[in-house]
Amino acid sequence: MEKQQLLYEGKAKRVYATADPDLVIVDYKDDATAFNGLKKGQIQNKGVLNNKIASYFFELLAAKGIVSHYVRRLSEREMLVKKLEILKVEVVVRNIAAGSLAKRLGLEEGTSLRRPVLELYYKDDELQDPMINEYHLYALGIATEEQVRELAAAALKINEILTASLQELRLLLVDFKLEFGLFHGSLLLGDEISPDTCRFWDAETREKLDKDRFRRDLGGVEEAYEEILRRLTGGN
């Protein structure tokens, strides 16, 4: 499958057309951003690592009945996916207080939540992705009630699958962001699942193994991403 014209370039990925109008190629970049693009940099080999990590998670979820845009990994940096009409909403699932949730609710970072919290954010960089609720989605025509129920159920199911799988690898899934889109009318999981979109902590030491190391200038960013891949796949 060969790349054709560039359709879109975002903070972490480029998307190219193919000869099949239903399929596109995602090319993962090494660029890193934080705080809605206010902080920028590069993480060596991030694109290679995230492509492999995201492929692993999409394949794991597919085996558990979660349908996504993922078709197959093409190369070190490239992934073939179904072309989705992405919904303008980010779905965040939180298991442990960290980041903005800890600040908003005055919780100590690392506080375990009694049950997962699901949050919705309006996907708009200029507005800095404000938090919204399902009524905003209906009012703006972003999603129907049925679609919101479907994506919420899928997000919580994905949380169950990933949490259980990562526990076996001595990893805590603190929180993560998902995006969904429509493919010929069907709602599918899209975007990526990686240390860019998830908070992963070592279960014993609670060492951060995700993009928070870049956000907070902790150093060892590439090594953290490599450690996630190593635990998932042995580094292959």
> Is 189 in a helix, a strand, or coil?
strand
Average the pLDDT over 156-167 and give the result. Answer: 98
Per-residue pLDDT at 39 exceeds 80: no
Q: Looking at residue 161, what DSSP letter applies?
A: H
Beta-carbon contacts of 140 under 8 Å, excluding residues fewer than 6 positions away, are 88, 122
Closest CA to 33 of 10, 4, 16, 62: 10
Tokens of 23: 């399929």
> Is 88 in a helix, a strand, or coil?
strand
> What does the alpha-carbon distance between residue 155 and residue 176 come to, in Å, rounded to a whole number?
10
Say if CB 222 and CB 53 are below 8 A apart: no
Per-residue pLDDT at 235 exceeds 80: no
| pLDDT tens sequence across 94-122 | 999 999 999 999 999 999 999 999 999 99
Q: Find where tokens 């206010």 sit.
A: 38
Average the pLDDT over 34-63 and give the result. Answer: 88
Q: What is the pLDDT of residue 1?
A: 79
Domains and CATH numbers, the chain: 6-82 (3.30.200.20), 86-221 (3.30.470.20)
Say if CB 178 and CB 118 are below 8 A apart: no
Lowest mean pLDDT among 55-64, 187-196, 215-224: 215-224
pLDDT category at 32 given cuts 50, 70, 90 is: confident
Q: Percentage of residues in the chain with pLDDT exceeding 70? A: 97
pLDDT category at 71 given cuts 50, 70, 90 is: very high
